[in-house]
């Protein structure tokens, strides 16, 4: 199975709502990533988890809260978002070396299209 | 800081023809990875090809090949025998070997394939 799945495909939420995005992979990868992508722009890295521990937070606002409950699952909890947070949110996974070095062949999910009203 | 530059916002190619996408990068590292990712209209990013900087041999994957010029910090992608399914946004990406998975993407090149 070489697939990264993301749910939901589309999400519309108000600025006061709390919602979560889910990402799952069964490739045995121990590194997982969240990216934000605006239209016609490259993905921007938000968070990296390695062995279920947060290893990179790219100064993302606290209204985005990542969680990695186990090696196959990655969540992104959303609270009090702003309209400018509307974007495609991509999850990816890759192998991770034992010494913490990560081999960077990342496999991406199809994304969640988020609209904040 | 590393930067990745794709100077061609859009490239058009006829079916069965060849198109070359350019990518340059800036780094002071000697060991790193370079990638080309494809993002079709369905939006799922797919890895097209990967190059390790320590390898002199250019990577190839079927109709896709790269021209890696380490001294010039250039990493172009050639798509041969273009097909309608090749139409997509192509991103060049750079990563240090010890960067905890941090990919630096270029701005992207939109490839349009005409029948």
Q: Is A40–B108 a contact, with Cβ atoms under 8 angstroms apart?
A: yes
What's the gap in Å between the CA of A32 and the closest CA on chain B? Answer: 9
Q: Which residues of B touch A104 (CB under 8 A)?
A: 33, 35, 95, 99, 101, 103
- The DSSP element (H or E) to which B90 belongs, if any, is strand B88-96
**Would you call A50 an interface residue with chain B, using a CB distance cutoff of 8 Å?**
yes
Q: Is A45–B102 a contact, with Cβ atoms under 8 angstroms apart?
A: yes
Q: Is A45–B95 a contact, with Cβ atoms under 8 angstroms apart?
A: no
Q: What is the pLDDT of residues A6-28, one digit of tens each?
A: 999 999 999 888 999 999 999 99
Q: C-alpha distances in angstroms, A44 versus A28, A57, A83, B77?
A: 24, 12, 17, 22
Cα–Cα distance for residue pair A16/B74, rounded to 1 Å = 47
Region of B15 (left: φ > 0; alpha: ψ -120 to 50; beta: rest) is beta
Count the residues in chain B.
115
Cα–Cα distance for residue pair B59/B83, rounded to 1 Å = 20
Cα–Cα distance for residue pair B66/B36, rounded to 1 Å = 9
SS3 B114: strand
Closest by CA to B106, choosing from B95, B88, B92, B86, is: B92
Three-state SS string over A43-54 comes to CEEEEEEECCEE
From chain B residues 95-114, the ones with a CB under 8 A of any chain A CB are 95, 97-103, 105-108
The minimal CB distance from B95 to the residues A56, A104, A107 is found for A104
Q: What is the pLDDT of residues B52-88, one digit of tens each?
A: 998 889 999 999 999 999 999 999 999 999 999 999 9
Cα–Cα distance for residue pair A38/B85, rounded to 1 Å = 23
Strand residues in chain B grouped as ranges (E): 3-5, 10-14, 19-21, 24-26, 32-39, 46-52, 60-61, 64-69, 74-79, 88-96, 104-105, 109-114
Q: What is the pLDDT of residues A40-85, one digit of tens each?
A: 899 999 999 989 999 889 999 999 999 999 999 999 999 999 999 9
Give the up-direction half-sphere exposure of residue B23: CA atoms within 13 A in the CB hemisphere: 27
Specify the pLDDT at position A104: 66
Q: Give the percent of chain B with pLDDT over 70.
A: 97
**Would you call A102 an interface residue with chain B, using a CB distance cutoff of 8 Å?**
yes
């Amino acid at each position: 199975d070489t697939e990264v799945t993301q749910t939901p495909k589309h999400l519309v939420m108000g600025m006061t709502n709390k919602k979560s995005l889910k990402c799952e992979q069964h490739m045995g990868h121990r590194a997982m990533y969240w990216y934000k992508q605006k239209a016609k722009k490259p993905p921007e890295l938000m968070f990296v988890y390695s062995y279920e521990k947060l290893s990179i937070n790219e100064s993302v606002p606290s209204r985005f809260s990542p969680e990695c409950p186990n090696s196959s699952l990655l969540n992104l909890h959303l609270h009090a978002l702003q309209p400018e947070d509307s974007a495609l949110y991509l999850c990816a996974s890759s192998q991770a070396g034992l010494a913490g070095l990560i081999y960077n062949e990342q496999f991406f999910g199809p994304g969640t299209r988020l609209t904040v009203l | 800081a590393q930067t990745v530059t794709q100077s061609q916002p859009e490239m058009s190619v006829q079916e069965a023809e060849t198109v070359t996408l350019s990518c340059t990068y800036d780094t002071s590292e000697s060991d790193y990875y370079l990638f080309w990712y494809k993002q079709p209209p369905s939006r799922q990013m797919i890895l097209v090809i990967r190059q390790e900087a320590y390898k002199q041999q250019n990577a190839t994957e079927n109709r896709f090949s790269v021209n890696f010029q380490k001294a010039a910090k250039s990493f172009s992608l050639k798509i041969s025998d273009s097909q309608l399914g090749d139409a997509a946004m192509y991103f060049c990406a750079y990563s240090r070997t010890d960067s905890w998975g941090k990919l630096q993407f270029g701005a992207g090149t939109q490839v349009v394939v005409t029948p």
